[in-house]
Amino acid sequence: MAVGRSRDVTGPYVDRSGKEMTADGGEQLLTTTGDMVGPGGQSVSQGHLAFHYYDAAAGGDFRLELRDLAWDDQGWPVATTRDEQDQSGRSST
Question: Which of the four pLDDT bands, split at 50, 70 and 90, describes residue 92?
Answer: low
pLDDT of residue 8: 98
What is d(CA 87, CA 45) in angstroms, rounded to the nearest whole number?
Answer: 21
Query: How is the chain split into domains, by residue range?
Result: 2-87
pTM assigned to the model = 0.80
Question: Which of the four pLDDT bands, split at 50, 70 and 90, describes residue 90?
Answer: low
**Residue partners of 32: CB distance under 8 A and separation at least 6:** 38, 39
What pLDDT digit, counting tens, does each position of 39-81 carry? 999 999 999 999 999 999 999 999 999 999 999 999 999 998 8
| Neighbour count for residue 93 (Cβ, 10 Å) | 12
pLDDT of residue 88: 66
